[in-house]
Amino acid sequence: MMGKLGVSIYPERSNFDDDAAYLDLASKYGYKRVFTSLLQVTDGKDKVLAEFKKTVAYANQLGMEVMVDINPDLFEQLNISYEDLKFFDDMGAYGVRLDLGFTGAEEAAMTRNPYDLKIEINMSSGTNYVDNIMSYSPKRENLLGSHNFYPHEYTGLEYNFFVACSEKFKKYNLNTAAFVNANSATFGPWPTADGLCTLEDHRHLDIATEVKHMVMTDLIDDVIIANAYASETELKAAADAFNANYPTIKIETVPDITEVERTVLLDNVHSYRGDRSAYILRSTMTRVVYKDKDFPAHNTVQIKRGDVLIDNEGYGQYKGETQIALKEMKNDGRVNVVGHITDDELFLLDFLKPWSQFKLSQD
C-alpha cells in the first residue's frame, strides 16, 4: 500500500500533552498524516500561530505531515493572502486543506508557492471543481484531494456519490484521502459528534472494516481517523487492516466444523478464480492442497448469500474446494456449509475482484 494512515487532532479543544501522547501512539503504529483545523479559531494571527506551532513541531519531529483545514473567510480573518502562504510555512504545516475553495485560478496559483506546501481540496462537492483547477495548470504534485467528514448522523456521503466524486480526482492521478470513524474517540472540531466519517454506511462499523472497505474501493490513497482520540486497540486494528497484504474478511464458523475444514478456511490465502460464476466465488487450490484429506458430509443445509462452503466427498474431484455463496442456492447434500461472512462485513463481498487474493479470519 503506497498511501498513508492519519489521525486528527484539535488543539483548541484539547491540550498539548494529550495531543503529544496521542501522536506518539499513532506514530508507533506507522501513522504519517495529521489532520487539524483552523476553522473554529476566533483569536488573532499571533495567538493562533503560537498555539498550533508547538503541536505541529512535535508532529514534525515524529516524521508526520500536518494538514491544516482552512477556508477563504479565514484568510480574511487572519489577514493572509492566498498569494503568500508564509503563515502556514511558519506554522510548520505540510500543507493546507481548503474546506471551501476559490475560483480555480487561485488554487492553481497556490500549488506553486515557494514553500512547496501541499494544497488539498475538497473531494465531496460533486461539482467539476477539480477540472476547473486543472485547467489553470497547477503544480500537480502539490495538489491533493480529501473528502469531508460528517458529525451529524445520516448526513455522510452515499457510496455511489462517493465513487463519482473520487473518480474525478483519480482520473488526474491526484492523491486522495477519506475519513473513518473511531468508536472509542469522543470529540472532533465541533460540539456535535455522532461519530465522524466520510461514508454514512461506516458510522457504526468497526474501524478495521471501515479501513478495509476504503482500501478495497481502489479509490482512496490515504485513510485518516477523523475523531480524537482513538484507542490503541483501534489504532492498531486500523493499521493492520490498512497495511495487510490481502483483505481479510471476517467469518463465523458453524459449531460442527472439522479441524481440516477450519485449517482450509483460516490457514490459507484464497484466490478468487477468474472465470467467475454468478452463484459462487471459487477458491480452487484448496482441493489440490488437501486432496488426501477427508471431507465427510455434514451441515448440508440450503445455501444463502455469504455462506462459506466446502465441497464434501460427494463432489468427487471437487472435494475440498472452498467457495463463498453469492446467491441463494439449493444444496443437494454435496456441499458443507461451514461458516458465514459476518453481517457487518457481508457488503465487502462485492469488493472482492476476480483473480484477487484474500484471507478469512474469525478475529
Instruction: Specify the CATH number for the domain of residue 163.
Output: 3.20.20.70
Q: What 3-state class would DSSP assign to 358?
A: strand
Residue ranges making up the domain that contains 216: 5-244
| Residue ending a domain, choose from 244, 272, 300 | 244
221 in the same domain as 137:
yes
Is residue 47 pLDDT above 80, yes or no? no
Average pLDDT value for residue range 72-98 = 90
Q: What is the pTM of this model?
A: 0.95
Percentage of residues of the chain with pLDDT beyond 70: 98
Is residue 25 pLDDT above 90, yes or no? yes
Torsion sign, CA atoms 157, 163, 168, 169: positive
| Residue ending a domain, choose from 217, 244, 271 | 244
Instruction: Specify the CATH number for the domain of residue 298.
Output: 2.40.100.10
| Residue ending a domain, choose from 244, 265, 299 | 244
| Beta-sheet strands, E only, within 192-321 | 222-225, 248-253, 270-271, 280-283, 307-311
pLDDT computed for residue 273 by the predictor: 95
Model confidence over 250-259: pLDDT tens digits? 999 999 999 9
Model confidence over 250-297: pLDDT tens digits? 999 999 999 999 999 999 999 999 999 999 999 999 999 999 999 999
Grid coordinates belonging to 155: 448526513
68 in the same domain as 111:
yes
Is residue 107 pLDDT above 60, yes or no? yes
Between the alpha carbon of residue 35 and those of residues 5, 7, 62, 145, 193, the distances in Å are 11, 6, 15, 13, 16
Closest CA to 163 of 216, 100, 227, 224: 216
pLDDT computed for residue 1 by the predictor: 45
Indicate the number of domains in the chain: 2
83 in the same domain as 219:
yes
297 in the same domain as 156:
no
